[in-house]
Amino acid sequence: MRTALHYPRLAFTVLGLLAGAIALVIAVGPGPQAAKASSHREAPLIATDPTADNTDLYAFVSPDRPDTVTIVANYIPFEEPAGGPNFFNFDPSALYTLHIDNNGDGRDDVAYEFRFSTETRNPNTFLYNTGPIGSLNDPNWNVRQFYSVTRVVGHHETVLGSHLPSPPNNIGPRSTPNYAGLASAAVNTLGGGIKVFAGQRDDPFFVDLGSIFDLGGLRPFNSLHLIPLPDAPGVDDVAGYNVHSIVLQVPISQLVSGNPTIGIYASASRPKIRILTADGTQRHRGPFVQISRLGNPLVNEVLIPLGEKDYWNRQDPSDDSQFIGHYLNPELAALIHVLYPGLPAPPATGRSDLVSVLLTGVPTLNFTGPRPSDELRLNTAIPPTANPDRLGVLNGDFAGFPNGRRLGDDIVDIELRAIACGYGPILHQALGLCDLQPNDQLGDGVDANDRPFLPTFPYVALPKQGYDSHT
Amino acid sequence: MRRRLLIAGAAAAIAAAALSLGNALRGGSGQAAARSAPAVGIRPDSAEPTVGQLQARLRANPRDAHAYALLGVAYEQRARETGDPTYYTKAGGVLHRAVALAPKDLVATSGLGSLALSRHRFREALSLGRKALRLSPTTALSYGIVGDALVELGRYPAAFRAFDKMAGLKPGLASYSRIAYGRELLGQTAGAIQAMQLAVDAATSEREPAAWARWQLGKLYWSVGRLDAAEHQYRAALAAFPGYVYALDALAQLEAARGQTAKAISLERRAVDDVPLPQFVGLLGDLYRLQGRPALAQRQYALVGVIQRLLVANGVKTDLETALFDIDHGIRLPHALALARRAEADRPSIDGDDVLAWALARNGRCADALGWSRKALRLGTRDALKLFHRGMIEQCLGHRSAARSYLNRALALNPHFSIVWSPVARKALR
Amino acid sequence: MKRLVFLAVAVAALAWPALALAHPLGNFTINRFSRIEVSGPRLYVRYVLDMAEIPTYQAGRIDQRAYAQRIAENAHLSVDGRQVALVPLRSALAHPRGAAGLRTTRLEVILAGPLLHGRVSVSYHDNNYRGRIGWKEIVVGKATRSISHELRAYPKDLLQSPLDTSSATASLAPGPGPDVQPAISSGASLEAPDRIADPGFASLVGRSHLSALVILASLAAALFWGAAHALSPGHGKTIVTAYLVGQRGTPRQAVLLGLVVTVTHTIGVFALGVVTLALSQLIVPDTLYPWLNLVSGLLVVGIGATVLRARLRRGRRHHHHHDHDHGPPSLRSLLAVGVSGGLLPCPSALVVLLAAISLHRIAFGLVLIVAFSAGLALTITGIGLAAVLARNTFRRVGFDGPLVRLLPAASALVILAAGLAMTVKALPKVS
């Protein structure tokens, strides 16, 4: 039998290559992976941006003052109450804005700008406080924040209040013994019937994050999941955290113009700077770049793909028609059927119902016009109800989400049912929206915040204290 | 005859079995299961809980490409937080799995890019950063990767454009600090300080980035001799992140500048005990020498040699800092020159140029050194050490007035720019 | 024959030499392990300290007794709420080899705890080297498994963060039997080379020392891997088999095919390497791979179509003949089949190449790839030979009928089908 030896040329070529390579190897230097060597500069790349992170936006007709609207904009998610040594503060270089669009063109017509400043009484210590903080003026309180509120209408700017105090973080019984008193002292009344508060509060959001991010698990429906588990009650994974809230209460008359329905969104912006500057000592008045915005809840988290998030955050709502594809063909709708094969599959294309609910408003409820823009739409002509239903409009409570958003509205369940095409019999009858059963029963099993809300301004519960943060 | 039949049959059966076995071993295709929802909220003060959550998620579903990508990124952050290099290896393994499952995953690609930067593979980082930009041209982070790589490759105009793009897309700590760096390289210290202050403001609650930003701001103050302001920032960094080694090391240099050698030594020892980077160990040795304890100094220098051997055994591309150490301490100068050449070839930035210039000068080749020193100073950077090197080169070439000018400039910026070389500069001016 | 066996064994032995790998957890870690166990009426703590290269160097000469004493002082034990002292009984010290010819340290200490009079609740906190980075593990029970094998083999699980346990609580009761001190390691167990499960071929490039022995051993390993790897899908085994069976190839042609596959495979990987180096700034190697898949698939489709057409044409012309000998396949067509089989670089080889590039050990990597390709060839040749043998055997036996007549055309169809499958699979990845 002939073998490779009968093909000398080939064999020799191969051997020659081998030999040459071996010779090279001897000359070649060493090899593999690095321990962390030294530092080339290594600036952070993947730091999140908590101080500019819009977490939630609420807007509702104030239940105790129905001629006003209350807007709550929350920033800085997952504030661990035992937050020392740094504690949490608004970013003094950022611009926090609440935008109101009252003519349906997607552009804001009235805006309220918040700027913060941090003052350190004693720069020689890094302690937040050097003794108990008895009042907002207590000399023991070392790192304090103040803010100004400016109303912008067109090019017209009016400063409504400046150097307004923000309360301290809720640290513990020694540092902040009478926190309720401190917090209420920080409620500021400005002219024209406007009330404002900016500071730490309990995070009013409630959701079973742990289960939802575990392949879309909904604990009460665990047995229907693709990877079944025993059914269980939902767990509020946001309970126990604080947040920083900007709460603004404004008479309705100062916001509306013709249509009683207004569109609201919140944003955070930072000054844009470049490497080359005129003289290196410019003051930062602008231009500001919007780095986060929030109208309707969960849009950025669930509908906008990862590669577009930075871009989406910078857009003005008036340009949101460019994103309409993500609303018409939501990926999540297709996912629901994959994850819950036993449930009827909601349509994953042609979802003009979602466009209605989230981009233009629902006709006869909170419609602002045909121009798609992501805004929380509040129909100020609908009075607040005495007994709010957490499922809002889905259960016939038209003062709830998606008509504005109250603190107690369970937007996770509402949006889940909306995307799963389970709007419920009421909306199915009234507006012809789809209602697949049992998709209209879906929910994460977390129906309320762990702390009760307050009946009066600023409505959001007091922040959890750092001292007993894990009790 | 029958025998041959049997053999043939067996051979055929084996061949068939081999084929089907191979197919069976291959397993399913690389399709990830249903893509799960985006990132879990990252707790602002550390990446540790995120790591745990993602590990659990992956044990339940080992084909979740996106979770692998997020875990890789979280591991990289843990590496920064803890200083433990194992996390880099883990990050690499997990990110490669992510890319194998989903080659177009943006997070995995940019995660690999930042990992390449940490490993000083700048060309690879540039390529990955560009790939990330092709996947999504509007994500700011990718410009950061590209810009960082370009800086280390000495391509400054392109790097600055990338940083400007990044800051235009998403002003925040990551972009502000890069703008600050660009300004610093161009010698605009006041503007750099302003930008870095914005970065500090944007950090607030996150420990590691807050400490990092304050440390950098402190270094900027230090570079122009404002010791008190620098100290304030270093201490603020330690308040934000107790035990942050870079702040300890920086504070040690500051105390040494104030003549507090014992304090400096105790601070540097804490840094060395936690993360023995060669520059920390080298500085500790210099401090011992300053204190008049040459034996202890020698032990530290020997430890630097040990670390260098380990880096080589681990296959690290020769680092600038280790080359510089040998050159500064007169260790095997010709060999150090070869190291410096290789280091510069790997990192043709102004730092690489400067180390090579110094290496040539210390080997007596001042004429060659001059060209490299010019390159190192071409951006107008106000860096006392680079100016000092230039001064010494000019002196070596007999250009007395040029030498005096550069040495004066160095000392004017920061009279304590180096424990070892500041006295030399002062002496040369007498 | 005996000599061959001896050589094989020697090579195998060399293939796993005591290589100096870096300390698996980083060169500056100080790793700690405690095992709390009960022996008879007494509680013992078995403590292991594993210091990597840098701390070992910094420590200089280690006074075993002083270290054991310090460890005992810093390991805090409380029984039913009361602090109890731990007393060092014995210790064992070794300095296993680490990276770069440096030593690491393994110190084992047996600490004696109190006598137990009934069930107690025990709380243990290890305060040794607090703040130092390293693996920290505590295990309760004599037989409880330690995932690091008591700091001998750190797991490489990517989904596991380094253990960080410095405290443990347990409820313990005195056991039956006498009070016997736990054993302390000695000899090889104390030298404890890290038995990391090497992930095969790709890791060969990563060996830190490249002495001539290591190179030869690695080549042998690469050969073995290539042979084993050929059993996985791809590399034109189907095509080669079908071709040889259909074309009535001879054993000599089977061998030639195997060689062609080898050379093509090696050249393919080499070429990829050159391309990668040249374009390393522009192209990430991963993106080339799908294109290679596509080209390979198209080539096979071409071959299959050509062969099928030839078969059909000949079949029409000479259908009244049976068992017509069409003559040996031309060298060109043989080459085409061989090339198509070897064109697609195996993932392993590609990984080696990419690793070699990034590790600046390109030459060594390429040498390994040649050996790998040779192993590949051996297997494919073997399979090809088996196919030829089978075919010849069947022919001799006289299975002659319409089925056998159709065999050449059928084999061509198989080739075509395989090629189409490859092409279709490659298309989405290319976009």
Contact B15 C386 (CB under 8 A): yes
Chain B residues in contact with C162 by the CB 8 A cut-off are: 84, 86
pLDDT in tens, B299-343: 999 998 888 777 766 656 657 877 899 999 998 899 899 989 988
A and B: number of Cβ contacts within 8 A: 258
List all residues of chain B from 370 to 409 with a beta carbon under 8 Å from chain C.
none
Is B17 within 8 Å of chain C by CB? no
d(CA B376, CA B351): 7
What local confidence, expressed as pLDDT, does residue B33 receive? 26
Determine what percent of chain C is predicted with pLDDT higher than 90: 22
* Residue B406 included in any domain: yes
Is B82 within 8 Å of chain C by CB? yes
Q: Has residue A109 got a pLDDT over 60?
A: yes
Look at residues A380, B149, B311 and name the one whose alpha carbon lies nearest to residue C102: B311
- Tell me the mean pLDDT in the region C394-420: 66
Look at residues B269, B334, B281 and name the one whose alpha carbon lies nearest to residue B307: B281
Residue with tokens 């809840």: A297
Which residues have C-beta within 8 Å of that of residue A436, sequence separation ≥ 6? A343, A344, A346, A420, A421, A422
Q: How many domains in chain A?
A: 1
Q: CA B359 → CA B73, B322, B368, B407, C290, distances in Å? A: 37, 12, 10, 18, 46
What local confidence, expressed as pLDDT, does residue B2 receive? 55
Query: Residue A164: enclosing H or E segment and its boundaries?
Result: strand A156-165
Determine what percent of chain C is predicted with pLDDT higher than 70: 64
What's chain B's average pLDDT?
Answer: 85
* Residue B38 included in any domain: no
Amino acid at B71: L
Contact B41 A209 (CB under 8 A): yes
CB B123 within 8 A of CB C280: yes
* CATH number reported for the structural domain that contains residue B181 in this entry: 1.25.40.10
Which pLDDT band, with edges at 50, 70 and 90, does A210 fall under? confident
d(CA A3, CA B250): 70
Which residues have C-beta within 8 Å of that of residue C379, sequence separation ≥ 6? C226, C227, C228, C230, C231
**At A61, phi and psi to the nearest 5?**
-75, 125
pLDDT in tens, B193-249: 999 999 998 886 778 888 999 999 999 999 999 999 999 999 999 988 889 999 999
Q: CA B284 → CA A173, B246, B276, B336, C288, distances in Å? A: 44, 14, 11, 21, 48
pLDDT in tens, B38-66: 233 334 456 777 788 788 878 877 888 88
pLDDT in tens, B206-218: 788 889 999 999 9
Last residue within a domain, chosen from B241, B262, B282? B241
d(CA A238, CA A209): 8
What local confidence, expressed as pLDDT, does residue C161 receive? 81
Which pLDDT band, with edges at 50, 70 and 90, does C396 fall under? low
* Residue A4 included in any domain: no
CB C304 within 8 A of CB C418: yes
Determine what percent of chain A is predicted with pLDDT higher than 70: 86
What local confidence, expressed as pLDDT, does residue B246 receive? 94
* Residue A98 included in any domain: yes
DSSP A191: G
Which pLDDT band, with edges at 50, 70 and 90, does B125 fall under? very high
What local confidence, expressed as pLDDT, does residue A323 receive? 95
What local confidence, expressed as pLDDT, does residue C247 receive? 64
At residue B212's C-alpha, the angle toward residues B209 and B218, to 5°, is: 140
What local confidence, expressed as pLDDT, does residue A305 receive? 83
Q: Has residue C299 got a pLDDT over 50?
A: yes
Tokens of B210: 């807050």
* Residue B288 included in any domain: no
- Residue B398's CB is within 10 A of a number of other CB atoms, namely 9
A and C: number of Cβ contacts within 8 A: 71
What local confidence, expressed as pLDDT, does residue C16 receive? 29
Chain B residues in contact with C57 by the CB 8 A cut-off are: 303, 306
What's chain A's average pLDDT?
Answer: 85
Which pLDDT band, with edges at 50, 70 and 90, does A398 fall under? very high
Closest by Cβ to A3, choosing from C210, C212, C255: C255
Chain C residues in contact with A12 by the CB 8 A cut-off are: none
At residue B229's C-alpha, the angle toward residues B225 and B235, to 5°, is: 120
- Tell me the mean pLDDT in the region A311-318: 92
d(CA B53, CA B38): 13
pLDDT in tens, C338-394: 777 676 666 556 555 655 554 455 667 677 777 878 887 787 777 777 777 777 766
* Residue B109 included in any domain: no
What local confidence, expressed as pLDDT, does residue B17 receive? 38
Query: What is the domain range of residue B192?
Result: 136-241
Q: Flag the least confident range among A207-221, A318-332, B90-104, C385-399.
A: C385-399
pLDDT in tens, C241-287: 666 656 666 777 777 877 887 788 788 777 765 665 555 445 444 45
Closest by Cβ to A37, choosing from B60, B246, B316: B316
pLDDT in tens, C215-224: 777 777 777 7
Q: Flag the least confident range among A334-338, A376-380, B255-259.
A: A334-338
pLDDT in tens, A33-63: 334 444 567 777 765 677 888 889 999 999 9
Q: How many domains in chain B?
A: 2
What local confidence, expressed as pLDDT, does residue C83 receive? 93
Query: Residue B428: enclosing H or E segment and its boundaries?
Result: helix B421-429
pLDDT in tens, A145-172: 999 999 999 999 999 999 999 999 998 8
What local confidence, expressed as pLDDT, does residue A7 receive? 52
Task: Report ipTM (2 d.p.).
Answer: 0.80
Look at residues B343, B326, B344, B346 and name the one whose alpha carbon lies nearest to residue B335: B326
Q: CA A393 → CA A382, A403, A414, distances in Å? A: 12, 7, 9
Contact C359 A31 (CB under 8 A): yes
Determine what percent of chain A is predicted with pLDDT higher than 90: 48
Tokens of A261: 């329905």
Tokens of A78: 């997952």
Which residues have C-beta within 8 Å of that of residue C411, sequence separation ≥ 6? C242, C243, C245, C246, C247, C307
DSSP C168: E
Is C205 within 8 Å of chain A by CB? yes
Cβ burial A439-455 (10 Å sphere, 16+ → b, else e): bbebbbbbbebebeeee
Residue C198 vs residue C225, higher pLDDT:
C225
DSSP A405: B
Q: Has residue A459 got a pLDDT over 70?
A: yes
Residue B277 vs residue A398, higher pLDDT:
A398
User: What 3-state class would DSSP assign to A74?
Assistant: strand
Which pLDDT band, with edges at 50, 70 and 90, does A442 fall under? confident
User: What 3-state class would DSSP assign to B282?
Assistant: helix
- H helices within B137-206, ranges in order? 140-152, 156-169, 173-185, 189-203
Look at residues A259, A335, A275 and name the one whose alpha carbon lies nearest to residue A303: A335
At residue B339's C-alpha, the angle toward residues B294 and B309, to 5°, is: 60
At residue B262's C-alpha, the angle toward residues B259 and B264, to 5°, is: 70
Instruction: State the Rg of chain B over Cα.
Output: 26
Kindly report whether the global pTM for this prediction surpasses the value 0.80.
no
Query: Residue A379: enclosing H or E segment and its boundaries?
Result: strand A376-379
What local confidence, expressed as pLDDT, does residue A233 receive? 86
Which pLDDT band, with edges at 50, 70 and 90, does B23 fall under? very low
Neighbouring chains of B at 3+ CB pairs within 8 Å?
Answer: A, C
Look at residues A71, A136, A88, A84 and name the one whose alpha carbon lies nearest to residue A460: A71
pLDDT in tens, C11-56: 333 332 223 345 566 788 899 999 999 999 999 999 999 999 889 9
Is B291 within 8 Å of chain C by CB? no
Which residues have C-beta within 8 Å of that of residue C430, sequence separation ≥ 6? C290, C291, C293, C294
Is C378 within 8 Å of chain B by CB? no
- Tell me the mean pLDDT in the region B340-364: 94
Residue C197 vs residue A418, higher pLDDT:
A418
Residue A177 vs residue C243, higher pLDDT:
A177
Chain B residues in contact with A314 by the CB 8 A cut-off are: 169-170
Q: Has residue B350 got a pLDDT over 60?
A: yes
Contact C392 B14 (CB under 8 A): no
Evaluate the omega torsion of the peptide bond into residue C162 and state whether it is cis, within 30 degrees of 0: no
Contact B183 A41 (CB under 8 A): no
* Residue A183 included in any domain: yes
d(CA C345, CA C342): 7
Q: CA C76 → CA A252, B265, C42, C85, C123, distances in Å? A: 66, 31, 17, 8, 8
Query: What is the domain range of residue A130?
Result: 50-441
Chain B residues in contact with C394 by the CB 8 A cut-off are: 8
d(CA B24, CA B18): 10
Is A302 within 8 Å of chain B by CB? yes
Query: Residue B278: enclosing H or E segment and its boundaries?
Result: helix B278-291
Is B168 within 8 Å of chain C by CB? no
Look at residues B54, B66, B73 and name the one whose alpha carbon lies nearest to residue B103: B66
- Residue A29's CB is within 10 A of a number of other CB atoms, namely 13
Tokens of B106: 């943006």
Please give, rounded to a whole number of angstroms, the shortest distance from the CA of B294 to a CA of chain A: 25
Look at residues C60, A32, C24, A41 and name the one whose alpha carbon lies nearest to residue B311: A32
Contact C255 A2 (CB under 8 A): yes
Beta pairing class for C30-39 and C136-140:
parallel
Q: Flag the least confident range among A22-36, A151-165, B243-257, C105-119.
A: A22-36
What local confidence, expressed as pLDDT, does residue C279 receive? 54
Can you give A417-441 as a three-state secondary structure string?
A: HHHCCECCHHHHHHHCCCECCCHHH
Is B25 within 8 Å of chain C by CB? yes
Sheet of A194-202: strand order equals A54-61, A68-79, A242-251, A194-202, A188-190
Look at residues B220, B196, B159 and name the one whose alpha carbon lies nearest to residue B350: B159
Report the residue of chain C nearest B50, measured CA to CA: C161
Report the residue of chain C nearest B57, measured CA to CA: C159
What local confidence, expressed as pLDDT, does residue C370 receive? 79
pLDDT in tens, A225-266: 877 888 888 888 888 889 999 999 999 999 999 899 999 999
**At C398, phi and psi to the nearest 5?**
95, 25
Closest by Cβ to B23, choosing from C206, C233, C360: C233
What local confidence, expressed as pLDDT, does residue A261 receive? 95
Residue A119 vs residue B53, higher pLDDT:
A119
* Residue B361 included in any domain: yes
Look at residues A94, A4, A13 and name the one whose alpha carbon lies nearest to residue A49: A94
